[in-house]
Amino acid sequence: MKQKALIDCPACGNSLSKSASTCPKCGHPMDQANYPMLIAKYVLAFLGLMVLISLFAQASHR
Ligand SMILES: [Zn+2]
């Protein structure tokens, strides 16, 4: 029998498919796939904040 790629749920230890977005047993979200996306979102938010701060700094400097 061919084994599918399985990972263990960090919450309940249930074996589930790597492609599952949530654990079918306990519903724990499997976010290993979108973890880089989460970092990218934080970086983008941080860069946007820096741009806003520099714009405010320039506006108040005049
Ligand atoms: Zn689980």
Task: Write down the pTM of the prediction.
Answer: 0.43
**pLDDT of the residue at 33:** 58
**pLDDT of the residue at 32:** 60
Q: How far is the CA of 9 from the centre of ligand 1 (A)?
A: 5
Give the total residue count for the chain: 62
Question: What is the token pair recorded at 26?
Answer: 């306990």
Q: Residues 2-47: pLDDT tens digits? A: 666 888 988 999 999 888 888 999 998 886 656 677 788 999 999 9
Q: How far is the CA of 56 from the centre of ligand 1 (A)?
A: 46
Side chain identity at residue 58, one-letter code: Q
Q: Residues 49-62: pLDDT tens digits? A: 999 999 999 988 66
Concatenated DSSP letters for the chain?
-PPP-EEE-TTT--EEETT-SB-TTT--B--SSSHHHHHHHHHHHHHHHHHHHHHHHHHHH-
Residue 9, Cβ neighbours under 10 Å: how many? Answer: 18
Q: How far is the CA of 19 from the centre of ligand 1 (A)?
A: 14
**pLDDT of the residue at 18:** 83
